[in-house]
Amino acid sequence: MKIAYYCQQVLGVGHFHRSLQICRALSRHHQVTMITGGAPLQVSEEKIDYFQLPGLIMDHNFHNLTPCDAQLSLDQTKALRAKALMNFFASYRPQIFLVELYPFGRKAFRFELDPLLTAIKVGSLHRCLVLCSLRDILVERHDRKKFEARVIATLNHSFDGLLIHGDKSLIPLETTFDRVDDIAVPLAYTGYVTPQPAAGARDKIRRELGLGKKRRLIIASIGGGNVGLELLHVTIKACALLADESLTLMVFAGPYASSRQLLRLREKADARTSVERFSPRFSDMLAAADLSISMAGYNTTMNVLAAGTPALLYPFSQNQEQRLRLKALEGKVPLSALEEADLTPAALARRIQNAYMQQRFTSPIALDGAVTTAALVQNWHHNGKVKK
């Protein structure tokens, strides 16, 4: 089958990498094109094609969209995107169209998605199965009733099914969406989406780094790098306070970190610390670590669960999503929340010393969501379980 997957990241890289993991699973048996529309990211996936729309991201105040191309106005960028998306569908003619998050989010992209969905619905574009690919938790809304009414209207009219990338027993959709009973299309929970560390990754990475059994490795990361730099700075300072010669700290500032930001981090690093933008083997690195210190986003949290590594996680403060997920996980696995009061070198050093007491673990949470998603998409299409 031909499958198109639409993903629009506007701030970090979490939505993109979760979508990429799903596309990887789908591409094992199908032709997949991933439609992206944020700041371009360097990826190399031989079995996945990419269609990059003119980029739109959030501005520095996190309030409005702004073009990645400074030569274009916002209106020009929107017009180019809407036309390009229509033209792509007219030529590609997919059997399956997965839309990440919309209509539960990305309202700012209705200008291109609603006309496309309408054209598919009325048949002026090739008819295909339209599915929503949704994260487990929705961010809170001040206009919740109006928001949920709009979601239900769009979902029931323009979509054929809903895939929730979470675990109903942990965080059901009802936790952040009141009108689940009004969803008229088929709905399924896939489990969480995350890559698994390679077999033997822990021992292999530790050998490559020259780390013996008594050496302690800490991985500090902040996802894409647009938020959370203060966590990396204080982690470097906190580790410098620890008189532990067995300690190695690896810091990943994110693909969006600037050269200046990297330089500032490296200036504070001691001989036990390395600072890089990212690693293509991040999941394997986490498996090799004895402790992870990071933001508490969906992807990094699930990376930690897959690796079985104790973790200190700092929830993003501008919405409830990360804190809500972390609260649901606490007590089930050795993950602990960092608060603002912990973001001083002395306080964080104490948290690190206490976290060293935690043992590695095997996650009780379902983490095979990409494979399950691929199977559901194929079964729904072939068995006609989704409305036409």
Mean pLDDT in residue range 57-65 = 76
Domain boundaries, the chain: 2-193+368-383, 201-355
Q: What is the CATH number of domain 201-355?
A: 3.40.50.2000
| Largest pairwise CA distance in the chain | 68
Q: How many CA atoms lie within 13 A of 314 on its CB side?
A: 24
- Report the alpha-carbon distance of residue 266 to residue 236 in Å, rounded: 9
Higher pLDDT residue, 256 or 32?
32
Which range in 56-65, 109-118, 237-246 is most confidently predicted, on average pLDDT? Answer: 109-118
Residues 28-41 pLDDT 10s: 999 999 999 988 87
Tell me if domain 2-193+368-383 and domain 201-355 are identical in fold: yes
pLDDT of 193 over the 60 cut: yes
Per-residue model confidence (pLDDT) at position 385: 55
List, for residues 136-191, the tens digit of each pLDDT value.
999 888 889 999 999 999 999 999 999 999 999 999 999 999 999 999 999 999 99
Bigger pLDDT: 62 or 307?
Answer: 307
The β-bridge partners of 99 are: 6, 132
How confident is residue 237, by pLDDT bands cut at 50, 70 and 90? very high
pLDDT digits (tens, 9 = 90+) for 1-47: 999 999 998 877 889 999 999 999 999 999 999 999 988 877 777 79
Mean pLDDT computed over every residue of the chain: 92
Beta-strand pair 48-52/31-36: parallel
Q: Report residue 62's pLDDT band, with 50, 70 and 90 as the boundaries.
A: low
CATH H superfamily, domain 2-193+368-383: Glycogen Phosphorylase B; (3.40.50.2000)
All residues at 6 or more sequence positions from 41 whose CB lies less than 8 Å from its CB, including other chains:
13, 16, 255
CA distance 192 to 373: 10
Cα Rg of the chain, angstroms = 21
Q: Quote the CA–CA distance of 100 and 132 in Å, as a whole number.
A: 6
214 CB burial (10 A radius; 0-12, 13-18, 19+): exposed
Least confident of 95-109, 180-194, 204-218, 315-329: 315-329
Q: Is the pLDDT of residue 242 over 60?
A: yes
State the average pLDDT over residues 84-105. Answer: 97
Q: What is the DSSP letter of 368?
A: B
What is the predicted pLDDT for the residue at 387? Answer: 46
Task: Report percent pLDDT > 90 for the chain.
Answer: 79
Mean pLDDT of 237-259: 91
Measured distance CA(112)–CA(303) in Å, rounded: 32
d(CA 281, CA 286): 9
SS3 of residue 11 by DSSP: coil
Give the pLDDT confidence of 319-338 residue by residue, as tens digits: 789 999 999 998 888 899 99
Q: What is the pLDDT of residue 226?
A: 75
- Judged against a pLDDT cut of 80, whether residue 386 lies above it is answered with no
Please state, in angstroms and rounded to a whole number, the distance separating the CA atoms of residues 224 and 243.
Answer: 31
CB-based contact 346:242 (threshold 8 Å): no
Contact 48/24 with Cβ under 8 angstroms? yes
- Which residues, in sequence order, are bridge partners of residue 166? none
Nearest of 256, 251, 222 to residue 41 by alpha carbon: 256
